Structure 1
Amino acid sequence: YSCKLGVSIDEKQTPTTLRVLHRVELDVRTIGTPAKDLYNRPRPLIGDDKPICIPREDWMKTNASYPSGHSMTGWAWALILAELAPAKADAMLSIGKSVGDSRAICGVHYISDIEAGRTLAAAMVAKLHGDPQFQRDIAKARGEMARAKAAPTGCA
């Protein structure tokens, strides 16, 4: 996200923005885990030995596929960053979509897992807008983004 934003999201220049993104990552677990537990859908890689693009790990056997938490996080971050930097909205949404898409490409989620993650993310972000603390943090983060000068390093 930082490379496309042209702004480093870090403790020094955008601490509130970083805190909002961390909060959302925790909220994704709170919102997504009950659905994962309820549906307990095995991941597409379980029961086969087809190649996937990330290392197979034991947690993949017990962490349900539906909904995709990575997709939820990626889409929620994209929605928030698009709001904070409207001129970069298309790039943020494209990255957020790619995060989810990569989960199917890598063979660790079904498309429906990814779509469910995006839907839950959109609902979660909409609900967060009703929280006064979130509103204050977003207002402060918007100011941070407007003042941010340091561009990320290592972007191609």
Structure 2
Amino acid sequence: MALSLAFLVLLPGCAATGDAPRLAADAPPSVAQGKSPLGTGYLGGGALPGGLDLIPPPPAEASAALARDKEGAAAGVAMRGTPRWDLATADADLRPGRAAAAFSCTAGFLIDRDHAPALDRLLGRAMADLGMATGEVKKRYMRPRPFMENGQPSCTPTWEPALRRDGSYPSGHSSIGYGTALILAEIMPDRAAALIARGRAFGDSRRVCNVHWLSDIEEGRVVATATVMRLNADPAFAADLAAARAEVAKLRARPAADMPDCATEAQALGH
């Protein structure tokens, strides 16, 4: 059975100090089996948008869409060893707080539990829903990943055994990244364009990493959009969103502290 998103959690033996994650001997719960390795979200399984109603099947053999996917994968493989590859490797890490922190440079302040606890809580819980929302489609199609087809390495080689048993379509990372960007854009509408662009880049990091096809990433954005719309109808999400909005207003009123290396990120993204 698929290990959808199983590689996203902080696994045993992996310290939260930037060490390369290691695959656990016992696989974490599977999103495709309806079990979240990402913690508790706002929505129950029945409240998640129906992915099979949202997106079409993956591209068919010998189709123009599949040819486009393969061209995109080849272009990603060519980025190995570049700053964009390094950023894609960092974007792969969805341990608690890491996905939200990836948006710090774009937001203009550090997003983590210490500096922005309300926002970190909001995005952490929403991430569980955004990831789980891809499970139904992953389970249906169990699409092989690019590195399985082209024989080239991924940016997280120790995760490849789990990824080989995981459906590629649609991308859970893309859903999480794009959904996070949409939520942040609600809080900071003046930065919406930059935040959405970073969310798109976060998903596209999976193509650069040689673990997702373009169509996986694009359809992950569709799942994210539907999930965020559903989240906005949830009272608990709405309350946490209001708290995060008030927190962010205070954060933006004072100089940012402890920021990551934003110049390197900008270079990697071609800014």
**Same topology, TM > 0.5:** yes
Give the AA of the match of 1:106: C
**Offset of residue 124 of structure 1:** 0.1
Whether contact under 8 Å (2:104, 2:259) holds in the other structure is: no
What letter matches 2:121 in structure 1? R
Asked whether the equivalents of residues 3 and 152 of structure 1 are also in contact (C-alpha less than 8 Å), the reply is no
Q: Within 2, Cα distance between the matches of 1:118 and 1:46?
A: 23
Q: How far does residue 33 in structure 1 lie from its aligned partner after superposition? A: 1.4
Question: Among residues 82, 85, 94, which one is paired with 2:185 in the alignment?
Answer: 82
Q: Which runs of 4+ in 1 moved over 4 A?
A: none
More helix by share: 1
Other structure's SS at 2:233 match: coil
Listed as ranges, the gaps of 5+ residues in structure 1 are none
Q: Which moved more, 1:2-11 or 1:49-58?
A: 49-58
CA distance in 2, matches of 1:144, 1:50: 44
Highest Rg: 1 or 2?
2
Share of identical aligned residues, percent? 43
Alignment RMSD: 1.6
Q: 1:68 to 1:45 in 2, by over 3 A?
A: same
TM (normalized to structure 2)? 0.54
Q: Distance in 2 between matches of 1:72 and 1:63?
A: 16
List gaps (5 residues or longer) in structure 2.
1-102, 264-271
Residue matched to 1:98: 201
Aligned residues: 156
Aligned twin of 1:138: 241
User: Could you report, residue by residue, the CA deviation over 1:128-151 in whole angstroms, capped at 9, with x for unpaired residues?
Assistant: 000011111111111110001443
1:64 maps to 2:157: no
Contact kept in structure 2, 1:2 and 1:152, CA below 8 Å: no
Give the whole-Å Cα distance in 1 for the aligned partners of 2:225 and 2:249.
Answer: 24
- 1:100-133 deviations in whole A, cap 9, x for unaligned? 1221222211111111100000000001000011
Q: CA deviation at 1:152?
A: 4.0
In 1, the alpha carbon distance for the partners of 2:198 and 2:171 equals 16
